[in-house]
Structure 1
Amino acid sequence: MLAFDHKIESFPKNKNTMVKRLKPVHTVERMSKVDTAWLRMDSSSNLMMILGVWIIRPKVSYQAVCARIEERLLKYPRFSQRVQLDATGASWVTDTDFRITRHVVREKLPASAKQNPQQALQTRLGELAIQPLDMRHPLWEFRLIEHYDGGSVLLVRIHHCIADGLALIAVTQSLVDGGAEPPPHKHRAQAESPWAAAEDWMSHTLIEPLTVAAVKALDAAGDGAAQAFGALGDPRHALEMLVEKGFTKGMSGSADMAKLAYQVLRDGAALALMPDDSATRLKGQPGQAKRVAWCQPMPLDEVRAVGKALQCSINDVLLACVAGAIGQYLRGHGDPIVGKEIRAMVPVNLRPMSEAYKLGNQFGLAPVVLPIGLDNPVERVFEVRKRMGELKGSMQPLLAFALLAVAGVLIKPVQDAMLNLFSKKTTAVMTNVPGPREKLQFCGSTLEQTLFWVPQSGTVGLGVSILSYGGGVQFGIISDTTLCPNPQAIIDHFAPEFDRLSWLTLMLPWGKE
C-alpha cells in the first residue's frame, strides 16, 4: 500500500516574486514481517548487515562508480527508501533527501597499507562490519578505494532487511557491464516449467502457514506472542486451517496431506531437538569487534575433478575442506577434536531466482553438521556427502525460516530466547554460492575477485563464505575477535586441506569397485 503526501514549497525567483511548486514528501510501503524480523535482530555483537568486497583492475573513478550505481541500483525502489519504525513494525519511506554521494563515498587506506594491502583492507572491513548504517537514510553503502594494489576496491554494506544474500547477487549482477535490469512489471516466464504449479503450492501451503499466518497472530491480539508460538508449535493445526481455507487445492488428496503433516512434524522435531554443538573455543559470548580474512582463488576445475573421482559434488568437497581447516585450527591451539562436530547454518533459497529482483527475504536455514574430528580427508568428504544426502527433501529450512520470521517481531526477551535456540546449537553461518564462470566487467575494468559475508545472529561468532567465480573458488571468514582473533589462521588451512585430499584421491586403488 502506498501513501502520498505533498507540500507547497516556496523558492525565491527574485526580490518581488515567489515561485511555488508541488513536491512529493514521501511514499510509504509497509515492510513485510519477515524483513522486519531481520531489521530487529541487530545486536551490539552482530549487525544484520551483508558485507562484500569487489577487487577491480585497472582502477575505476569515483565519478564512474557513482554514475553506474545511480543509473542501475536506483531502478530497484527499495534502494531509495529509508526505514521508518512504529509501534507495530516498520515501513519503507521514500527518502526525499536522497543523495548518491551519501551512499557512494571515497575511502582511503592508511599509508602503511602499501606494505600489505590485503591485510589493511581486511582490517578496514572488520571495522565496517560493526559500524551501523544511518537509519535516517536508505540502509546501504558503497565505499570506493580508488587506488589499491594496481586497481580499485569497492566495499559494500547492505542491511539484511532489504534483501537476502541470494537476491542481492541478482542486484549486483545488474551493476556490471551489460547487466540485466529488473523487469518493469511482474515477470512470469512465457512457458512455465512443469514445476511451476508445485512451486506455487509450496509457497502457499508451507511458507504462508509457517510464517505469515504465525506472525499475523501478533497483530490480532495483545497476547499475540503466545498465539504465534501455538501456531508454530502445532504444524498440524496450521495445515488443518489450510484445508479449511482451500490452500491445498491441487493436492492429490488426504494421503498427501497426511504425508506432509508427518514430514513437517518429523523435521520440526529434528530441528527443535538438535543436540548442542561440541564445545570449542569458537563458541561462547561474542564481543564487539570483527576480523575478516580470505584466501586467493583455488582452481575450480581441480575441485571438480576430485569430486568426480570420489563421486561427490563440488559442494561436498568444499564443505569437507571447511571442516578440515577448522579442525586443524583447533588442533593447532591444543584443543582435542577427535569425535567432535560443529553445526553450520546454511541459507537455502526458497524462491525461483527469476524472482530475486523482488528483493526481501525468502530463504530457510539448513543445519549442516561438519565432522571436524575426522582427520582423514577422504573419510571426511564421504561423511559430508552422507550428511548432505540426509538433508535433501527436508523441510527444516522452511521451519527455520518460520522460526526466524517470528523471532524478529516478538518482544525482545522472547526474541532472544528463540535466537538462543539456534546459537547454542550452531557454531557458524556458512554460504556457498556459485558465481559466473567468466570474469565480469565493471565500468570497463575487470572484476577480479568478489567476496561477501552474511551476518551471524544471536551469539554465533563465525561466518564462512565460499564463492566460485571466474574459474576459481575462494574461502572467506568473518569472525568475532573474542572467539577467533585471527581468522586468517583458519583460512591458511584451506589450500593444504584440499591438497591432502587431492593427493590421497590420486593414491586410491583405482580400477577396483
Structure 2
Amino acid sequence: MERLASVDAAWLRMEEPTNLMMITAVLWFDEPPDWERLKAVLRERLVERFPRFRQRLVEPGGLLAAPYWEEDPAFELEAHLGHAVVPPPGDRDALEALVSQWMSTPLERSRPLWQFHLVDGFGQGGALLVRIHHTLADGMALARVLLSLMDESAEEHFTPEPPLQEGPSTPGWMKWVRGARAVASGTRAAWKRGAELISEPIQVGDLVRGGARGAAALSRLALMPSDPPTVFRGPLGTVKRAAWSDPIPLEEVKALGRAMESTINDVLLAALTGALRRYQEERGGPVEDLRAFIPVNLRPLDAPIPRELGNRFGLVFLDLPVKEVEPRRRLRELKQRMDALKRSPEAALTFGMLGMVGLAPAAVERAAVEVLAAKGTLIMTNVPGPRHPVFLAGTKLAGLMFWVPQSGKVGLGVSIFSYAGQVTMGVSVDAGLVPDPHRLVIDFKDELRALAATAGSAPA
C-alpha cells in the first residue's frame, strides 16, 4: 500500500464527466504489428518495469482518508488490451472518429488506470490507441515511457536484466537505486536517441530564481483576470473530438525560425495564435486575445524515469497576441512574452499550488480549479520525439499523436509532437464548443505559410 502523492491526487479529483483526466495517444504503422510480440513487449517493458501499471487506486471513504495505490490481486495484462476496428474506408477521418469516441469514455476505476487497443482496418498497417490516466504520470513522463517500448531496428529486442534477489534486510534506498538503474537501461537510452527539444521553453535551471521574482510571479497569478468570453468558452459536454494535421517537415519550421530570429517553439506558438484569430473570425465571434496554459517539465531529462512515475510539472500562463493582425509583429510580440516567462518561477509556483490543493478537501480543490481554469482558454503541449524512425515490437512506427486532458471549464487542447523530422499538430475539443476541429488544423498550416511568406521563404 502506498499513499497517493498530493499532486497526483489533485489530478485525480479534477476528473469530471465533461473533462476526463486521461492522456490519449494514437500510434499508426505501415504494416500490422505482431500481436503476440506486442503483448510480450508491454508485459516486459511496461508492466514489469513500472508498478503503477499493475496497481489499482483505492479511494476510501471518510473526510480525512487519503487515496492509495495497491497491487491489483486480479491483475491480468489481457484485461487492459483490446481490439478495435475502424470501419471502411479506413482513412484518417474514420480513425479520428474512433479516437474521439474513446477519448470521451472514462477508464474503469476499479482496475489499473490504463488501456491499449490494437486498431484494425486503418490503412495498410493499423494503429494502436493508448489511454492512461493523468494520475499515473504527466505527459512528458508518459511520452518517455512510450519511447521506452521502442527499438532502433526491427530485429532488436531489449532483454531486461534478471531481477536482483533482495532479502528482508535490504535498505529501502538500495531498492530504489536498483529500480532506477533498471528503468534507466531502457528509458534513458530511448530518450537519447535524439529527442528534438522543441517543447520545453523553460528548463529546470531557469526555475531557480530569487525571492523577489517569486513574489512578483505570485502577485501576477493572483491579479490575473479571467479570459474573455469567446467561441472557445461555454458549457462543456461529454463528447470530445480529436483531429490532427498531416506531417509538417521540421526542417522548414527550423528554417523559418532562423529567418525570423526565433526558436522553433516561438514559430509554432505564433502559428497557433494566428489560427485562433482566423477561427474566431470564421465563426463570426469577437476576436479576443487569449491565454494558454503551457506545461513545463520539472524533471531533468538526463535522469531515468522513477519507477513510481507521478506528476512533476508546473504551468506557465502565456498571453497570446491574437488581436495582432500582422504575422511578423505577432511572432515578435509572442517571443518577447515567452522570453519573459523563461525568467519567471511561475511553473514552480503552480506545481506547489497543485500539491497544496491535492491535500485540501474536495470542495476547496474544485473551487481553486475553477478559479485557475477561468484564467485561460486552452492548454498547449509540445512534446519531442526521436529524430529517427523507431520500431515497436518489430514494426516501424509511421507516426504518433497525443492529447493531454483539460481541467475545469477548459474545452480546447492543442498538442504538437515531433518525430523523424516531421511535426504533427493535433487538437482535442469539446464538440459543442468547436464542432469543426479540422478548421483549426487548416488554419494552423495556413498561418505557417503566412509566416513563411512574410519571411520570404514560403515552403513548398
Per the shorter chain, which TM-score range?
A: 0.7 to 0.9
Output the aligned Cα RMSD. 2.2
Could you list the per-position Cα deviations for residues 70-103 of structure 1 after superposition, in whole angstroms to 9, with x for gaps in the alignment? 1110111111111111242111111121111111
1:441 and 2:391 matched: yes
Which structure has the larger Rg?
1
Shift of 1:57: 1.7
- Tell me, in whole angstroms, the C-alpha distance in 2 between the residues paired with 1:186 and 1:55: 30
Distance 1:134 1:507, change over 3 A: closer
**Mean alpha-carbon deviation: is it higher for 399-408 or for 306-315?**
399-408
- Tell me, in whole angstroms, the C-alpha distance in 2 between the residues paired with 1:403 and 1:486: 35
- Out of 157, 162, 183, the residue aligned to residue 136 of structure 2 is 162
- Tell me, in whole angstroms, the C-alpha distance in 2 between the residues paired with 1:187 and 1:349: 21
Shift of 1:331: 0.6
Q: Which residue of 1 aligns with 2:70?
A: 93
- Out of 96, 100, 107, the residue aligned to residue 84 of structure 2 is 107
Could you list the per-position Cα deviations for residues 39-77 of structure 1 after superposition, in whole angstroms to 9, with x for gaps in the alignment? 111111111110100011211132222121111101111
Could you list the per-position Cα deviations for residues 438-479 of structure 1 after superposition, in whole angstroms to 9, with x for gaps in the alignment? 121112221111111111000000000011111011110000
Unaligned runs of 5+ in 1: 1-27, 190-201, 207-255, 509-513
- Out of 391, 398, 421, the residue aligned to residue 471 of structure 1 is 421
TM-score under structure 2 length normalisation: 0.85
User: Per the alignment, in what secondary structure is the counterpart of residue 136 of structure 2?
Assistant: coil
Alpha-carbon contact 1:274-1:425 (below 8 Å) kept: yes
Q: Which residue of 1 aligns with 2:19?
A: 46
- Tell me, in whole angstroms, the C-alpha distance in 1 between the residues paired with 2:98 and 2:426: 15
Q: Which residue of 2 aligns with 1:281?
A: 231
Alpha-carbon contact 1:317-1:381 (below 8 Å) kept: yes
Equivalences, count: 411
**One-letter code of the match for 2:67?**
A
User: Per the alignment, in what secondary structure is the counterpart of residue 406 of structure 1?
Assistant: helix
Could you list the per-position Cα deviations for residues 365-418 of structure 1 after superposition, in whole angstroms to 9, with x for gaps in the alignment? 011111112221111111111110110121111111122222234223321210
Alpha-carbon contact 1:61-1:146 (below 8 Å) kept: no
Q: Which residue of 1 aligns with 2:305?
A: 356
Shift of 1:334: 1.5
User: Per the alignment, in what secondary structure is the counterpart of residue 93 of structure 1?
Assistant: strand
Alpha-carbon contact 2:403-2:428 (below 8 Å) kept: yes
TM-score under structure 1 length normalisation: 0.76
**One-letter code of the match for 1:185?**
G
Alpha-carbon contact 1:59-1:147 (below 8 Å) kept: no
- Tell me, in whole angstroms, the C-alpha distance in 2 between the residues paired with 1:498 and 1:47: 31
Q: How does 1:26-425 map to 2 (within 5 A)?
A: 28-74=1-47, 75-86=49-60, 87=62, 88-110=65-87, 113-114=88-89, 117-177=91-151, 184-187=178-181, 260-337=210-287, 340-353=288-301, 354-358=303-307, 359-425=309-375
Alpha-carbon contact 1:419-1:458 (below 8 Å) kept: yes
Q: Which residue of 1 aligns with 2:447?
A: 497
- Tell me, in whole angstroms, the C-alpha distance in 1 between the residues paired with 2:363 and 2:423: 40
**One-letter code of the match for 2:295?**
P
- Tell me, in whole angstroms, the C-alpha distance in 2 between the residues paired with 1:185 and 1:453: 29
Q: Percent identity?
A: 38
Alpha-carbon contact 1:166-1:356 (below 8 Å) kept: no
- Tell me, in whole angstroms, the C-alpha distance in 2 between the residues paired with 1:424 and 1:33: 23
**One-letter code of the match for 1:171?**
V
**One-letter code of the match for 1:96?**
P
**One-letter code of the match for 2:252?**
E
**One-letter code of the match for 2:9?**
T
**Mean alpha-carbon deviation: is it higher for 455-464 or for 281-290?**
281-290
